[in-house]
Amino acid sequence: MPKKCCDLVYWKHNEGWDVYKKDDCQFVNNEWIPNWFDSFIVEDAPTKKDAIKSISEFHVLGMCLV
């Protein structure tokens, strides 16, 4: 997997995992919460591992294309 080059938030919910840009989230009560739940990069990945795998597809030559 390419080197991490963007800040992301992995959000667990009943249907799976969503991924958001950290810039689109707020830190509340010791956790990152998306400002808008429809601004996801990845939606409803069945597991966190699947969400991470999906995000890795947005990385080309070490650049985050999110």
Q: Which of 41, 64, 28 shows the shortest CA–CA distance to 17?
A: 41
How far is C-alpha 49 from the geometric centre of its chain's CA atoms?
11
Task: Count the residues in the chain.
Answer: 66
pTM of the model: 0.81
Using CA atoms, how far apart are residues 41 and 23, in angstroms rounded to an integer?
12
Domain boundaries along the sequence of the chain: 8-64
DSSP state of 3: P
Residue 2 has pLDDT above 90, yes or no: no
Q: Could you read off the pLDDT of 10-51 as tens digits, one per residue?
A: 999 999 999 999 999 999 999 999 999 999 999 999 999 999
